[in-house]
Amino acid sequence: MQRDPRAFLWEVREAAFAIQSFTAGMDAAAYAANEMAQAAVERKFEIIGVALNQLARLDAALAARVPDLPQIVAFRNQLIHGYATVNVSSVWNVIQNALPPLAGSVQALLDELGEA
């Protein structure tokens, strides 16, 4: 049985919210000093990348509406597989600058598609 594409969008949204929660009240230095927060954030970025990759396989037209999807999946691969070293400040930059628009885009798609 094929999964509903909204399930992948929901996973992305929930992981993005979790990252924002994990890093709330932190600045770059506090994040860099907190190994547990870094590990939790990296795990949630893994979930985001996998969910978007699966969405692209299931519904390419819907996935194409997620801005920067290929870069998001590539970022996940870099974090998890070490294809390129991703430093803490780069991850912090993604959290601050790329994650909020992603969460907003995914929420807009869920609103359009209906979450239920």
Query: What local confidence, expressed as pLDDT, does residue 80 receive?
Result: 84
Mean confidence (pLDDT) of the chain: 93
Rounded mean pLDDT, 12-25: 98
Segments forming the whole domain that contains residue 64: 5-113
- Print burial letters for 19-29: b (CB count within 10 Å at least 16), e (below 16): beebbeeeeee
The stretches of 1-116 forming alpha helices (DSSP H) are: 5-23, 28-32, 35-58, 60-63, 69-81, 88-93, 99-113
Query: What local confidence, expressed as pLDDT, does residue 7 receive?
Result: 96
Please count the other Cβ atoms lying within 10 Å of the Cβ belonging to residue 79: 20
Task: Find tokens 């978007």 and name the residue.
Answer: 52
In total, how many domains does the chain have?
Answer: 1
The per-residue pLDDT for range 37-68, each reduced to its tens digit, is 999 999 999 999 999 999 999 999 999 999 99
The per-residue pLDDT for range 59-93, each reduced to its tens digit, is 999 999 999 999 999 999 888 877 556 789 999 99
Whole-prediction pTM: 0.92
Length reported for the chain: 116
CB-based contacts of 54, cutoff 8 Å, min separation 6: 3, 8
